[in-house]
Amino acid sequence: MGDPGEMTNPKLKTKLWEYGNRRRTDGPYVDNLEVDALVVGGGFGGVFCFYSLRKAGLKTVIYEAGTDLGGTWRWNCYPGAMVDSEVPEYQLSIEETWKTYNWPSNYPTYKELRDYFDHCDNVLDIKSNTAFESVVTGAQFDAEEGRWHVKTADGRTAKAKYLVIAAGFAAKRYVPNWPGIDKFKGILHHSSFWPDEEIDVKNKKCAIIGTGASGVQITQAWGPVAGELKVFQRTPNLTVPMRLRPLTAEEQWAGKKWYKELFHLRESCFGGFLYTFSEKNTFEDSPEERERFFEKLWSDGGFRYWLGNYKDYLFDPKANRAVYDFWQKKQCERLKDQRDRDILTPVEPPHPWGVKRPCLEYRYLEQFNRPNVDVVNIKNNPIAEFNETGIKLQDGTQYDFDIICIATGFDVVTGGMTAMGLQNINGKTLEDEWKQAAVTYLGTTVPGYPNMFHLYGPQGPTRELFPLCEPKLYIQQTPPVMITIYIPSITVPYPKSDCHVVLSNGPTSVEIQGRWITDAIKHMENKGIKYINPTDSASKEWKKKINDLSDKSLFPTTKST
Ligand code: NAP
């Protein structure tokens, strides 16, 4: 992967390197760039690491594949795209950025998030040190020289002592291998490579395949305007109401005196938000108390019903069922048709509640009450092929469309890193090494890839938070020395490697990891250390620890994104 010679789908761009383009030849775009630290990715993680490393005195540059800052919010411009993490906790805690900025609503749209990143650039000066449309397609560490050698899709090279991968957990798009996809004559896009120009769905026959967060949000946007909309669902999304509301400037100015405490608080809550699990177990409360507690979480909205619920429900199947039953009762009331209820809000849970990320919505289920919107259950009757006019299911049913949106998500978590052409010190690619499973130390470093750090990625808080521990980083010296850096810690279960649940608020996680990375680099600079490389045994220990924690929970029961 990451090889520009790789076959592409002529109908559909799915590879990042297809977007590589040499915009300029000066500044961060120069050939043979030499820097102390190269950050790959210009979203929340990249901006935070760039800011911290530059502050620590390192010459730092960002390589960003997109056309501007914003990471996922540059790519995800599909209809209705918005964040389902709440403001104020969904932003950087850097004072210059929040003290002069107010948001229009508690769940900003992708356009509002782009404005926010422009504001961050205005106050922090990031873009002048960022090379856009710069897609990394190869990188290897030269141990003799103590430098990473990095290549981009347009043929440039760069050298850096430190390589920070902040490319996000969702940098590689997933399109199932449906036969005939290139035969379809209508408009076809993946939700995450959506074009900037608007696609008019009025009087058009439209399809959405997939009901993850993207499929849910596109359904909300298209339902009221499309001529006809069919939503192809494999697994119902156990969504919860977000309680979207406008925010006034006055309330935000008044709240700012608490922001420092809020940013501190979010790091001690399970999901990096401003609430955490109840101290009670589910059946410690009477049925009436439980109902009142569920009602309160439900009406307060957001992820509270997921990450502020009873502390045992992700471990105890009986407790989990109580949470599901309340969810089912609440959601089925919103649907008029019994067939829709059976498909979208079944009485029997498709999986334990909360082990897949329940997306937030504000009028999702109501779309299916419209005469032009329909759900197609493909659980036991999958898509067999695409053809010139549309989609055929396994049982032969044909659906014709003008526009198809593929909202099947990403090769989450490892995809961003394995598609980058990273090679270990012995020349083996990360893609080969991680075919079976990812191996990391602390979800931040990888054995064999010295001085490389990753954030919001495999075995990190992207989908699991750090267990309570004092991590040990092994420094490659003779004799080996060991330093201990404390990561603010939250005890939680870890899902198994095939079970990815994006459990934690992005900005919170990347700041915890970004501070750790900056501290490690500062330590190395102060001590004159050439490189660090986590040992295999430390990485195995880490993997065992997260699997042991995961096995205590209900997470491994379900295959997730
Ligand atoms: P996703 O969560 O991975 O959902 C993919 C959807 O496609 C699922 O419904 C999946 O069904 C379905 N699917 C996969 N393969 C299929 C096939 N062969 N046939 C039919 N359906 C298939 O993808 P996403 O919605 O793009 O979201 C990706 C990540 O980004 C998630 O973590 C999400 O939470 C995050 N995201 C966040 C926001 C936000 O607002 N913060 C917005 C968008 C996305 P199954 O469930 O049966 O596998």
Decide: helix, strand or coil at residue 362. Answer: coil
60 sits in which H/E element:
strand 60-63
- The answer to whether residue 531 scores a pLDDT higher than 80 is yes
Residue in 169, 178, 214 to alter for ligand 1 test, most ligand atoms within 8 A of Cβ: 214
16-69+126-169+412-557 folds as FAD/NAD(P)-binding domain (3.50.50)
**In this predicted model, what pLDDT tens digit does every residue of 173-197 receive, in sequence order?**
789 999 999 999 999 999 988 988 8
Q: How confident is the model at residue 493 (pLDDT cuts 50, 70, 90)?
A: very low
pLDDT band at 547 (very low <50, low <70, confident <90, very high): confident
Q: Is 413 in the pocket of ligand 1 (CB under 6 A)?
A: no
Edge-to-edge order in the sheet of strand 228-233: 187-190, 403-406, 205-209, 228-233, 373-377
Query: What single string gives the DSSP state of each residue in 8-29?
Result: -BTTB---GGGG-----SSGGG
For 432-450, the pLDDT digits (tens) are 999 888 899 999 999 999 9
Listed in order, strand segments (DSSP E) in 262-377 are 360-361, 373-377
pLDDT given for residue 462 in this prediction: 60
pLDDT at 469 over 60: no
Token pair, residue 290, equals 């439980």
Predicted local distance difference test score (pLDDT) of residue 4: 42
Q: How many CB atoms lie within 10 A of CB 196?
A: 7
Rounded to two decimals, what is the model's pTM? 0.89
User: What pLDDT does 5 receive?
Assistant: 41
pLDDT at 546: 85
Model confidence at 169, in pLDDT bands (50, 70, 90)?
low
Q: In which residue ranges of the chain is CATH 3.50.50.60 found?
A: 16-69+126-169+412-557, 175-238+354-409
Q: Quick one: average pLDDT of 326-346? A: 98
Closest CA to 454 of 66, 170, 163, 60: 163
Judge if the beta carbon of residue 50 lies within 6 A of ligand 1.
no
Ligand 1 within 6 A of CB of 181: no
CB crowding 27-45: b at 16 or more within 10 Å, else e:
ebbeeebebbbbbbbbbbb
What's the rounded Cα separation, in Å, for the pair 490 and 22? 43
CB 405 within 8 A of CB 208: yes
The CATH fold assigned to 175-238+354-409 is FAD/NAD(P)-binding domain (3.50.50)
The b/e string for 425-450 (b: 16+ C-beta within 10 A; e otherwise) is eeeebbbebbeeebbbbbbbbbbbbb
pLDDT at 473 over 50: no
Token pair recorded at residue 432: 């080969």
| 235 C-beta closer than 6 A to ligand 1 | yes
Structure tokens at 30: 């120069």
Task: Tell which wins on pLDDT, 18 or 461.
Answer: 18
Residue 251 alpha carbon to ligand 1 centre in Å: 34
Burial of 273 (0-12, 13-18, 19+ CB in 10 A): buried
- Sorting pLDDT into bands at 50, 70 and 90, what band is 264? very high
Q: Is the pLDDT of residue 490 over 90?
A: no
Residue predicted with more confidence, 356 or 16: 356
Provide the pLDDT confidence category of residue 44 given band limits of 50, 70 and 90: very high
Q: What is the mean pLDDT of residues 534-552?
A: 90
The full length of the chain comes to: 561
Task: Please provide residue 271's backbone torsions phi and psi, each rounded to the nearest 5 degrees.
Answer: -100, 10
For CA atoms 21, 26, 32, 34, the dihedral sign is: negative
* Average pLDDT taken over every residue of the chain: 89
The pLDDT tens digits of the residues spanning 267-309 come to 999 899 999 999 999 999 999 999 999 999 999 999 999 999 9
Which pLDDT does position 527 carry in this prediction? 96
Q: What percent of the chain has pLDDT over 70?
A: 89
Residue 508 Cβ contacting ligand 1 at under 6 Å: no
> Is 375 touching ligand 1 by the criterion CB < 6 Å?
no
Q: pLDDT (tens digit, 9 = 90+) per residue, 63-112?
A: 999 999 999 898 889 999 999 999 999 999 999 999 999 999 999 999 99
pLDDT of residue 411: 67
The whole-angstrom separation of Cα 219 and Cα 222 is: 5
Nearest atom, ligand 1, residue 408 CA? 7
Is pLDDT above 90 for 17? Answer: no
Q: Is the pLDDT of residue 488 over 70?
A: no
What is the enclosing helix (H) or strand (E) of 355?
none
pLDDT of residue 192: 86
Output the pLDDT for position 467.
35
pLDDT tens digits, 106-133: 999 999 999 999 999 999 999 999 999 9
Which of 103, 383, 130, 365 is closest to 246 using CA atoms? 103
Q: Is 77 in the pocket of ligand 1 (CB under 6 A)?
A: no
